[in-house]
Amino acid sequence: MQLEISTSTSVLITLTINFNNSKQSSKKMKIMEAMTGAVDSAASKLDRARELRAFDDTKAGVKGLVDAGVENVPQIFLLPRNNTKSGTGDTAKVNFTIPVIDLQGVEIDSTLRQEIVHRIRHASETWGFFQVVNHGIPVGVLEEMLRGVRRFNEQDVGVKKQFYTRDVSRKFVFNSNFDLYASPAANWRDTFFCFMAPTPPQPQELPASCRDIQIEYSRHVMTLGVRLFGLLSEALGLETSRLTNMDCANGLAFVGHYYPSCPQPELTLGASKHTDDGFLTVVLQDHIGGLQIFAENQWIDVPPVPGALVINIGDLLQLISNDKFKSVEHRVLANREGPRVSVACFFSTALMPSSKLYGPIQDLLSEDNPAKYRETTVEEFFSYSYAKGLDGVSPLLHFKI
């Protein structure tokens, strides 16, 4: 008998199977069914690989799809069925608010500072997230930064394509989904990426559409970072300069996200659930919303607050604080109202080749609180985390004692 298995697309596979007698036929039918399934899945993997390649080759990202008028979210972006946003435990039912902390006067008034340190400690231990206002970065700079990311993404596609690459050794990397070929579902997002410290790129290495504001904004974020690491050190009961002395504020990775409007936002995500792998992240988001954290067994919104910056603890800070501070899972919903724009600045020393070992800070350890992680270099931590992609599994598990 000749069996033709037609897969969901044009791939056609022909198998020849000989049946000897009817007794064996039912057993063989079962084998055939299993083979059909296997062939189907191999063929759909092949299809997916082709679709991913075709999408990547456009170099126009998700925005290119939207500009071309897609009405249905293409297959490669579809969430696995058991992972849709309407699934169990997926919608926020109780109103939790991520703390918004006012930094006004924190360097002047020592009583106020203690109060702020207390709030930062509480937020870092429970939510791993908080927002800050009166953080010292002028609102005009924040607004221009968001406009800069928008200008880059909305410029002539021919100019933008020149920056599209998967070569992460390039100074400025623009692409859609850094883990496009590894993740189970692509995200509805285009992103550019650049290290701004310790060795910033030459201005001419950055796109003209956003270079001035990217340089200015990053300078402000570095200053804010030093202040935040001071407050976080105190929140751990350590001297103010402890975390900066460990080089936590020396490296800055700048990421500009563009989440185009999505025709079927319930079928995909802007960013899959993940934790951030650096020490600390500073996120500037626009007014659209969609950032959520996973806490209390549900997804909780981190609502846009005008003029605020979102601060979250990264994996490396969880590691050196021996789990006192939490690096919490978060994601970004796709949206219909967009485009949504955000900038995430990651404090990490990923670009500074160093044999420096990071493990739980000795002063935080005791007999009752032994080290939970082995020491690692930032390089080892990042290569493990980057290779893994946004698969929803914390890289910290790999370093647990």
Ligand X SMILES: O=C(O)CCC(=O)C(=O)O
Residues that bind ligand X (CB under 6 A): 255, 257, 271, 276, 283, 285, 291, 330, 332, 342, 344
CB of 326 to Fe ion, least distance (A): 14
H/E segment holding residue 231:
helix 211-235
- Residue closer to ligand X by CB (options 164, 188) is 188
Contact status: 329 vs Fe ion (CB under 5 A)? no
* CA atoms of 223 and 155, how far apart (whole Å): 30
Cα dihedral angle (380, 382, 384, 386), rounded to 10 degrees? -160
276 binds Fe ion (CB under 5 A): yes
Instruction: Give min distance, CB of 291 to ligand X, in A.
Output: 4
User: How much is the CA Rg of the chain, to the nearest whole Å?
Assistant: 24
Smallest gap from Cβ 204 to Fe ion, in A, equals 29
Looking at beta carbons only, is 236 or 248 nearer to ligand X? 248
H/E stretch holding 341: strand 340-347
Measured from the CB atom, is 123 or 271 closer to ligand X?
271
Secondary structure of residue 344 in the 3-state scheme = strand
Beta-carbon contacts of residue 177 (< 8 Å; ≥ 6 apart) = 183, 186, 187, 189, 191
Q: How far is the CB of 220 from Fe ion (least distance, A)?
A: 20
Nearer Cβ to Fe ion, position 309 or 361? 309
CA distance 256 to 343: 5
Closest CB to Fe ion among residues 106, 280: 280
CB of 316 to Fe ion, least distance (A): 13
Q: Say which entry of ligand X, Fe ion, none residue 123 contacts (CB below 5 to 8 A, set by partner kind).
A: none
Q: Please give the distance of CA 379 from its chain centroid, rounded to a whole number.
A: 18
Helix (H, G, I), strand (E, B) or coil at 283: strand
- Span of 16-24, 268-276, 317-325, 387-395 interacting with Fe ion by CB under 5 A: 268-276
Q: Which residues bind Fe ion (CB under 5 A)?
A: 276
